Amino acid sequence: MSVEELLQNRVSIRAFSDKPIADKALTSIFENAQLSPSNCNVQPWQICVVSGKSLDELKTQFMQTLMSGSKPNPDFNWLPKYEGIHRERQFGSANALYNSINVAREDKKARQMAMVRNWQFFDAPYAVFFTMDKYLDIMGAVDLGIYAQTLSLLLTEQGIGSCMQGALGQFPEPVRKVLNLPDERGILFGMSFGYADENAAINKTKTDRATLESAVAFFN
């Protein structure tokens, strides 16, 4: 697939089959993701790929954290209040998602339940956490974003679905605990991945994009 085809094929996947990914394919995907560019080539990403018992344990810990009523406490400035057009687009993407699974706008409970699925990794067999030393802040966040997009395209190329999740950076303590990460390590965000459940309605969510003219200005 060309890069253009990869970009046209990639959509966020939020329902998965439990089919495992061959070890060789998995290693090769992460080997290639290492080719991502970064500021001064510092390669700040510390990538945690989680599956099996560790993933189950994380799900349990996340559920306990949510049930205890804990408020999100991200390591980085990750709780933006979108304004204006950004807020409209935020609502647009949420509506696209909830429409696909027939959840009404006023059904707050169903929306909350759908949100909780984030911390169950949408039942994906794999998750990845994009982590870095906390002091790196925005310098590192740019590089991790680039890494994440590289990874999602490599996964798409192999027919593997994924969903980037800011939600996975909202409660960093359970992640540090289960993955045994030092305090100075920050959890920026994460991604669930695996083969898509082709029949799931949620995977039919369609988002749009603003026009080229509204986003790109050419200066001669």
Ligand X SMILES: Cc1cc2nc3c(=O)[nH]c(=O)nc-3n(C[C@H](O)[C@H](O)[C@H](O)COP(=O)(O)O)c2cc1C
Interface residues with ligand X (CB under 6 A) are 11-12, 14, 93, 118, 163-167, 189, 207
Q: List b or e across 144-171, with b for residues whose CB sees 16 or more CB atoms inside 10 angstroms.
A: beebbebbbbbbbbeebbbbbbebbbbb
Residue 33: closest CA among 210, 191, 177, 205: 191
Residue 22 or 138 having the CB closest to ligand X:
138
Residue 145: closest CA among 134, 156, 130: 130
Residue 26 or 151 having the CB closest to ligand X:
151
Q: What is the dihedral of CA 160, 165, 171, 174, to 10 degrees?
A: 0
The minimum distance between CB 153 and ligand X, in angstroms, equals 12
Q: Which amino acid is at 79?
A: L
The minimum distance between CB 97 and ligand X, in angstroms, equals 7
Q: List b or e across 67-98, with b for residues whose CB sees 16 or more CB atoms inside 10 angstroms.
A: eeeeeeebbbebeeeeeeeeeeeeeeeeeebb
The minimum distance between CB 48 and ligand X, in angstroms, equals 17
Q: Where are the alpha helices (DSSP H) in 158-187?
A: 172-179
The minimum distance between CB 96 and ligand X, in angstroms, equals 7
Task: Please state, in angstroms and rounded to a whole number, the distance separating the CA atoms of residues 149 and 141.
Answer: 12
Residue 124 or 167 having the CB closest to ligand X:
167
Q: Where are the alpha helices (DSSP H) in 117-162?
A: 137-157
The minimum distance between CB 219 and ligand X, in angstroms, equals 27
Residue 148 or 182 having the CB closest to ligand X:
148
Residue 23 or 208 having the CB closest to ligand X:
208
Residue 28 or 201 having the CB closest to ligand X:
201
Task: Please state, in angstroms and rounded to a whole number, the distance separating the CA atoms of residues 104 and 98.
Answer: 7
The minimum distance between CB 13 and ligand X, in angstroms, equals 8
